[in-house]
Amino acid sequence: MTISGIGLHTGKQSTVRFHPAEGPVRFRMGRLEFRPLASAVVDTLRCTVMGYHDLRLMTVEHLLSALFIRGIWEGLVIEVTGPEIPILDGSAREWLAVLQDFPAPAPQPQLLQGTTRIEEGRSSVLAQPAEVFSLTATILFPHPKIGYQQVQCPPTSLVELASARTFGFLKEAEAMRAQGLIKGASLENALVFSEHDFASTPRMLHEPVWHKALDFLGDLYLAGRPYQGRFVVHRGSHRLHVELAKLLQS
Ligand SMILES: [Zn+2]
C-alpha cells in the first residue's frame, strides 16, 4: 500500500508505504525506525512534528488519527520518504480507507487512574476515568461562520470525524507563508475562511470542530496505547493535546 502527495507546510512530495511487521506501530525513515510517541515530538506550533536525531517528520496527526480510529497499535511499519506526511484532501479519509483492511488485533484499553486537566489561557484538556471512551470538543472563533461549535462522540462516530478537513484563515495565510508554512495549502485541501465568509466549500456542518476532534485523536495516539476514559477538549491545540499524551505515556 503506497500513498504519495505533497505536504501542507513544506509543499514537498512525500511517499508513505505501509508494511505489515511484528511489533508496535512505528515510522521508518531511511534506516531509522521510531515509534509515534509524545516523547519524540519536537514541535507543535502549526502541526505535530516528530524528531529523531536529525530527522524531522511533519504533520503526523491525520495519519495517526486514522490509526487511532481503526485501533491499529501493532503490526505495522510506516515507511516515509520525504519531510512531511502528505496532506491529501486535508482530512484523514484516505488514510482511513487505506487502513480499512489492515488486520488489527484489538488491544485492551488502559483505564485512566485519575483525572488529568491541563490549562493554557482559555484552552484546556481533561481526561478522567469512565466506563467507555468518549470525546467532547469545543472551539470558539470570533468569525461569523464559526463562533462556538461543539461535537460529542458518541453519538457522532469517530469514523465520521475523519472527513473533516484542516481549516485556516485567508488573513493569516500570508504571514504563515512568510514563515515558510502552508506551501501546500489550497482551497480544496483546507476549509478556508475569508474575513466574513467561507472561501472554500464546507463538507459538513461544524467541520472546524470535527477537525479539531480529529486532530486530538491523532495527538492522543502519541500516548502509545488506547485509553478508556472521558476526554474533554476546549479550544484545543497540538501543544495541549501532546502535553496530555506525554502525561499519559509516562
Ligand atoms: Zn489537523
CB burial of residue 71 (10 Å; 0-12, 13-18, 19+): middle
Residue 23 has pLDDT above 90, yes or no: yes
Distance 101 CA to ligand 1 centre (A): 24
The pLDDT score that the predictor gives to residue 104 is: 81
At 101, the pLDDT band (50, 70, 90 cuts) reads: confident
At 105, the pLDDT band (50, 70, 90 cuts) reads: confident
The pLDDT score that the predictor gives to residue 140 is: 97
228-239 confidence digits (pLDDT tens): 999 999 999 999
Catalytic residue positions, numbered = 238
**What is the spatial distance between Cα 76 and Cα 226, in angstroms, rounded to a whole number?**
16
| HSE-up (13 A, CA, CB side) for residue 156 | 22
- Mark out the alpha helices in the chain (DSSP H runs): 61-70, 93-98, 158-161, 170-178, 207-220, 238-249
**What is the spatial distance between Cα 54 and Cα 35, in angstroms, rounded to a whole number?**
16
Q: Which cell numbers hold the place of 110? A: 488502559
Residue 38 has pLDDT above 90, yes or no: yes
What's the mean pLDDT in 51-63?
94
**What is the spatial distance between Cα 245 and Cα 189, in angstroms, rounded to a whole number?**
27
Distance 166 CA to ligand 1 centre (A): 5
What's the mean pLDDT in 128-153?
97
- What share of the chain in percent tops pLDDT 70? 100
Comparing CA positions, the residue from 141, 112, 145, 144 lying closest to residue 232 is 112
Distance 30 CA to ligand 1 centre (A): 26
What's the mean pLDDT in 43-72?
95
Distance 223 CA to ligand 1 centre (A): 18
| In the chain, domain spans | 2-249
Sheet strands (E) in the chain: 2-6, 13-24, 26-29, 32-34, 41-43, 49-52, 55-57, 74-81, 110-111, 116-120, 123-128, 134-141, 147-153, 167-169, 191-193, 227-228, 230-234
The pLDDT score that the predictor gives to residue 168 is: 95
* Distance from chain centroid for Cα 187: 20
**What is the spatial distance between Cα 74 and Cα 67, in angstroms, rounded to a whole number?**
10
**What is the spatial distance between Cα 47 and Cα 5, in angstroms, rounded to a whole number?**
17
pTM over 0.95, yes/no: yes
The pLDDT score that the predictor gives to residue 53 is: 86
* Distance from chain centroid for Cα 236: 12
Residues in the chain: 250
**What is the spatial distance between Cα 193 and Cα 195, in angstroms, rounded to a whole number?**
7
The pLDDT score that the predictor gives to residue 1 is: 87
Which of the four CATH numbers 1.10.3720.10, 3.30.1700.10, 3.40.50.1100, 3.40.50.970 does domain 2-249 have?
3.30.1700.10
DSSP 165: P
**What is the spatial distance between Cα 41 and Cα 52, in angstroms, rounded to a whole number?**
9
Chain mean pLDDT for the chain: 95
More confident residue, 106 or 123: 123
Residue 106 has pLDDT above 80, yes or no: no
Residue 211 has pLDDT above 80, yes or no: yes
Distance 131 CA to ligand 1 centre (A): 28
The pLDDT score that the predictor gives to residue 183 is: 93
Residue 36 has pLDDT above 80, yes or no: yes
